[in-house]
Structure formats: C-alpha cells, structure tokens
Chain A
C-alpha cells in the first residue's frame, strides 16, 4: 500500500533555531500534501496544504512566515519551523494522497521539542 515517510521522528532544538521536517511519498506521486499539528491529548488540526510547484495554502491562524512549506517535487514536501519557541513543541504529521478521492496516508509524525 501507499507509504508516506516522515523524517525525523524526533527532534530537540534550542529556542531560536530552525527545524526542517521532511515528508516523502515513497510509492506514489502526491501533487498535494497536508501538514497537521497535534497537541498532547488533542486531535489533529490542519495547518496547511502543500501544493507541488506553488505556494502552500495556510489555515486561518497559522503563521506562514513561521511555518515555511516547500513542495519541490511530486514526492517531497518540507515543513520548516523557523525561530522555534517552546510553544511550537508539538507532534507534526504530514499526509498525502495519490488522487482526489484516495484516502490520505499519514507519515509517522515528528515529535518536536523546543527547549
């Protein structure tokens, strides 16, 4: 079945630094990928929609300058958390779909801890 690989699985960084998270579709092409954020004991909230070759679409309340998304190819999207702060500590999950009606396949997530 379709596989989405997300890397790294865990990252600890100091406040003020930037962190890049990669999301790859391993056996299918994904023109669109999605980035979700999950706070402890809460549900997933969509942050942004990553479109190959164009700018990402951000959900209301998500700072596009803080959460930089690049979708350079049909199999790779990256999320960069810039100037990270402790409140950015969270579980970030990417997802992708091969076609419009295909269900989303999720990566295993990245646990970000900002100290």
Chain B
C-alpha cells in the first residue's frame, strides 16, 4: 500500500538553528511529493513540490527539500528557523500523472516548536 511516513511527531529547535524534517514514502513508482504547513485551526499552505528534474527543490519562506530516490526520502530543511515557523508540517505524495492527481496521501505530520 502507498504510504508516507514522517518519523518525528514533534521537533523543538531554537530560533536561528537549522531544521530538518524527515519524510519517507513507499510507492510503486516515484510519486509527486509535497510539503505543506498548517497553522493551528487553519488550512494547509504549500511550501514546495517535486515532480521531476533537479532533486533539490526551493520553496517559499526559505525552505528547501531534497529528493533522494535511493532512500525514498524527501526531507525538508531550513538553514535558520524563525519563531513564525512554529506550525505543523505535512509531507504528502500522489501518483505521478494520471487522473488521481488530487488523491494525496499525507504523512502523520510533524509539529515544530521554536524556542526563543
């Protein structure tokens, strides 16, 4: 079965520190990959996406993610975290192409806490 796994439920970092949120996927073929951020009581905002090509993807708010096929991973990174980055982060995937483009499979989410 297709799945997306975020091993870390909760991560705490200090403001200004670097951040890496892990994401692994299990799909028959390389899926399209996404990272979303959700603030409390809000919908999801797309940070970045990977469809193909360059494996290092730049997103909004200074985030980037690296696709590693050999590790079935798509980890999210930020060099210096700001207090406003505190939120919940979701990794998601869907089958590449076809008509099932909206059928995203989400990871369990990682809650990020930022200490001043």
Q: State whether the Cβ of A100 lies closer than 8 Å to any Cβ in chain B.
A: yes
A interface majority secondary structure: strand
User: By DSSP majority rule, is chain B's interface helix, strand, loop, or mixed?
Assistant: loop
Complex interface bits, B94-116 against A, C-beta within 8 A gives 1, otherwise 0? 00010101111011110000000
Which of B41, B45, B101 has the most CB atoms of chain A within a 10 A radius of its CB?
A: B101
On whether the beta carbons of A109 and B107 are closer than 8 Å, the reply is no
Q: What's the Cα separation between A49 and B99 when bound, in Å?
A: 11
Q: How large is the interface on B (under 10, 10 to 19, 20 to 34, 35 or more residues)?
A: 20 to 34
Task: Check if A103 is an interface residue, CB within 8 A of chain B.
Answer: yes
Q: Is B36 an interface residue (CB 8 A)?
A: yes
CB <8 Å contact, B43 and A103: no
Nearest residue, chain A, Cβ from B36: A106
Q: Considering the chains assembled together, what is the distance between the CA atoms of A45 and B102 in angstroms?
A: 12
Q: Which residues of B contact A109 (CB under 8 A)?
A: 41-43
Q: Which of A53-105 contact B (CB under 8 A)?
A: 91, 93, 95, 97, 100-101, 103-105
Known: A34-B102, A97-B101, A100-B99. A108 touches B43 (CB 8 A): yes
Residues of A within 8 A of B (CB): 4, 6, 9, 32-34, 42-46, 49, 91, 93, 95, 97, 100-101, 103-109, 111
